[in-house]
Structure 1
Amino acid sequence: MPDSSEARAGREAPGRRAIAHPEAATITREALIERARAMVPALRQRARRCEDAERLLPETAQEFIDAGFFRIVQPRRYGGFEFGLDVLEEVVIEVGRGCGSSAWTLAILGGHSWWTALFPEEGQDEIFGEDGHVIMATNLSGNGRCRRLPGGYELSGRFVYLSGCDVANWLCVGAMLEDEGHADPPWFYMAIRPEEATILDDWHMLGLRGTGSKSVVVEKAFVPERRALPQALVQAQETPGRYVHPNPLYATPMLAFLSIETTGAAVGIALQAVEALEELALNKPVRRREAEAGASGFQASVPSFRRHLAEAKSKAEAARTILLNEARRLMATMREYAPAGRKMAPEEMAEYGLNCARLVDLCVQAVDHALAAGGTSSTFDGHPLERCFRDIRTLSTHNVYRMDLMAERWAQARFQEAARP
């Protein structure tokens, strides 16, 4: 079950720094979800502008800040609410009912306050700053390069797909250490300020246009040691942050967390499509051939329309159930594992990826049913169903949601585990 504010109240880690958010002790899961739900009408009205701008709109970003959405999984010690991943997903789902692009961007930026909490303590002190306001856009693929300097590293590279970078106040990218003769060079996740990078206007996509997932270029930026997180520690589930914060949330393996993090956007898009189709059911008149077959009034009287609507509804709701179950299961697992010092096995991590890929596939099917029932008029540019179709199809191309890749990853991990003595 999600943590109560009372259960979270005693989890502030001892240390030199503590930032108290005025709502930290009183905010509830229900209040956060209701704030997101109340935004849905405005998000739907802005969806076209968000797409045209090819970025998260400034007014939407400010509303997310005011609602505390970027602090949901942020440590209380640094001004966050320290809820579990399941609460973030519930909020993202509601936002996705209004705008898929805004939901994806919130999932990335809101989830990455958790990522920041994995860094060395001194780095967290700097990044969270005096008020705990962190909006971090990332590319964690490790395709940059860095070289060692006294006290840190010099970072360079071009990094793609930094969702929300236009509104971020921190960036985090991955870079491989070069020029030290390593057969298998180590690499690091490095946090820098946006002013140390150049954002390229290169996000012109089929769907999720409003995420602003642009490329950034970094040239010889100095990154101090405290803002460099070794990938080897992340892979070993031994990040500095798990020893800074006592909450098991911050011992969660990256692969398991990231498998779930953005999936709420897919569920929200599917639910948005269902709601758009329900509106057509009561407002779109039957066509001549449908009337000749016995239908009358509006599309709700057409058997094939009702069947598509029921299929879309059941698949979207099944996806929501799977997602929240997976998020809560992950949080429960970490509450069991972290106090005992137990690490998550590769097969366990891969299972979260497998299940999330499956539920995204359900969301794709839900939107396909909705579009089929909506008819040709629902494919006009700017129609909610047309936008949902483009958004869910673009989202489903992400490697973490490709069923073929996730199935193979899980199967390899499963049988490698089985082969061990």
Structure 2
Amino acid sequence: MTHAASNADDALRERARAFAPELRRRADEIEAARRLPRDLSDRFARAGFYRMCVPEAYGGLECPPAETMEVIELLARADGASAWCVFIGATSGSVLALLPESAAREVFDRPETLISGVFAPRGRATAVEGGFRVEGQWQWGSGTWNADWILAGCQVIRDGEPERLANGTPRSRMMLVPASQVEFIDTWYVSGLAGTGSTDFAIHDVFVPEDHALGLGVEGPLARPLYAFPQFGLLGMGIAAVSLGLARAAITELTELAGAKTPAGSARPLAARPATQSGISKAEAGLRSARAFYYEAIQAAWQAAREKGRIEIAHRRDIRLATTHAVHASARAVDRMYALGGGTSVFRSSPLQRIFRDVHVATQHMMVAPATLELTGRLFLGLDTDTAML
């Protein structure tokens, strides 16, 4: 990393810290709105958060992945939903490296451009002259309410039949569609991470030019270290960064509460109780260990990408294992803090209840589901394994 890049990363982290007081103050507002307020999204864009994974050649920051995740983690300590929207917007910007230069510059036509969407191929892209006709409805569209461009995963249809890869599986591609041509459907009524606005969206027979369609797991025209990281890997890393930030926030909240609260029926403050002391220690050990493994795996892959221009399956395996472990270790730390908070934890006035709900929504994401441990386990055991989504 160059000195200039290091300075840019430091500036991004400082901007994330500067947002923290406002995000804490507005957390209830963000949750009630069930989407990130436009003014915050616009200011995140001006702060450069959505450019962290955009190629430098097109006006982005192209930050090392660990630095991007640290920014997301810092934001999550203040508000999980805001951090989630930044993670989606930031990592989605990396797809510009997969487009032809002319198309990438057309999409990223101003520094505040925001791309969000869904990789899952829930739509149909019917091949026509010059591109595709796209139709479908997608779930889990985090941050799409504020986006300029929408990514929509599609199964490719050619001559009336699904196009297939050499191994027989259907071919899927991501379609970049202007947000003005997308219908947003208000479906996001959930227990946690409500402020992410992860609503459904639909596309109705929209033409997408060939140069606005991209494949995942393929090499783009920009052979840069950051773009050696697979999209699914970046997705899992972002979920973990949010979860780690939430867990740190929970420990901070409980620590402050423990010094001020004397539980009913007790003569001692919460901090003086052995259960509290033990619980804090276990949470700290679990969280710090998971965080260390997470950043170690990312840095090892980053070093390989810089030295060799690629990351091996073993790096991808370790990233997936570390991200899944980080999310669930974070949830365990939050659970401990929530339980130690007693009755205080259940009130809307306590950030612990929102953190508890937010982190348990994060654990439900398919990228960090328990089945991912089976995937990484097969690789450790040397078994034949489909690594397409690793």
- The two structures have a TM-score, normalised by structure 1, of 0.85
SS of equivalent to 1:262: helix
Shift of 1:57: 1.7
Shift of 1:384: 0.5
Deviations 1:175-205 (A, max 9, x none): 1122524464422110001111100000011
Equivalent residues of 1:259, 1:400 under 8 A apart: yes
Is 1:383 aligned with 2:360?
A: no
Is 1:193 aligned with 2:178?
A: yes
Mark the structure with the bigger radius of gyration: 1
Given candidates 1, 4, 11, the residue that maps to 2:2 is: 4
1:224 to 1:5, Cα distance in 2 relative to 1, 3 A? farther
Which is worse superposed, 87-96 or 70-79?
Answer: 70-79
Is 1:148 aligned with 2:116?
A: no
Shift of 1:287: 3.0
1:16 corresponds in structure 2 to: none
Is 1:48 aligned with 2:28?
A: yes
* Equivalent AA in structure 2 for residue 344 of structure 1: E
1:250 corresponds in structure 2 to: 227
Aligned residues: 379
Q: Distance in 2 between matches of 1:410 and 1:336?
A: 24
Equivalent residues of 1:4, 1:28 under 8 A apart: no
1:306 corresponds in structure 2 to: 277
1:304 to 1:418, Cα distance in 2 relative to 1, 3 A? same
Equivalent residues of 2:49, 2:90 under 8 A apart: yes
SS of equivalent to 2:113: coil
1:273 corresponds in structure 2 to: 250
- The two structures have a TM-score, normalised by structure 2, of 0.92
Is 1:212 aligned with 2:197?
A: yes
* Equivalent AA in structure 1 for residue 255 of structure 2: E
Q: Distance in 2 between matches of 1:303 and 1:63?
A: 44
Deviations 1:195-236 (A, max 9, x none): 111000000111000000011010000000110013xxx33x
Q: Distance in 1 between matches of 2:207 and 2:258?
A: 58
2:367 corresponds in structure 1 to: 400
Q: Distance in 2 between matches of 1:200 and 1:370?
A: 36
SS of equivalent to 2:26: helix
Equivalent residues of 2:378, 2:384 under 8 A apart: no
Shift of 1:401: 1.3
* Equivalent AA in structure 1 for residue 29 of structure 2: R
2:329 corresponds in structure 1 to: 362
Given candidates 282, 288, 292, the residue that maps to 2:259 is: 282
Shift of 1:80: 1.4
Which is worse superposed, 366-375 or 179-188?
Answer: 179-188
Q: Distance in 2 between matches of 1:384 and 1:343?
A: 39
Which is worse superposed, 111-120 or 179-188?
Answer: 179-188
What is the RMSD computed on CA atoms of the aligned residues? 2.0
Given candidates 92, 117, 122, the residue that maps to 1:138 is: 117
Q: Distance in 2 between matches of 1:407 and 1:210?
A: 29
SS of equivalent to 1:110: helix
Is 1:79 aligned with 2:59?
A: yes
Q: Distance in 2 between matches of 1:198 and 1:54?
A: 17
Is 1:350 aligned with 2:321?
A: no
1:214 to 1:5, Cα distance in 2 relative to 1, 3 A? farther
Deviations 1:362-409 (A, max 9, x none): 10110011011100121113420000110011100111112x211111
Q: Distance in 2 between matches of 1:87 and 1:261?
A: 12
Q: Distance in 2 between matches of 1:176 and 1:328?
A: 34
Q: Distance in 2 between matches of 1:414 and 1:332?
A: 21
Q: Distance in 2 between matches of 1:261 and 1:395?
A: 10
2:143 corresponds in structure 1 to: 164
Unaligned stretches of 5+ residues in structure 2: 386-390
* Equivalent AA in structure 2 for residue 208 of structure 1: L
1:418 to 1:226, Cα distance in 2 relative to 1, 3 A? closer
1:13 corresponds in structure 2 to: none
Equivalent residues of 2:73, 2:245 under 8 A apart: yes
1:15 corresponds in structure 2 to: none
1:14 corresponds in structure 2 to: none
1:134 to 1:326, Cα distance in 2 relative to 1, 3 A? farther
Is 1:259 aligned with 2:240?
A: no
Q: Distance in 1 between matches of 2:259 and 2:42?
A: 35
Deviations 1:65-121 (A, max 9, x none): 222111122211111122111111110111001001111111111111112222222
1:18 corresponds in structure 2 to: none
Give the percent of matched residue pairs that are identical in Structure 1 and Structure 2: 28
Unaligned stretches of 5+ residues in structure 1: 9-25
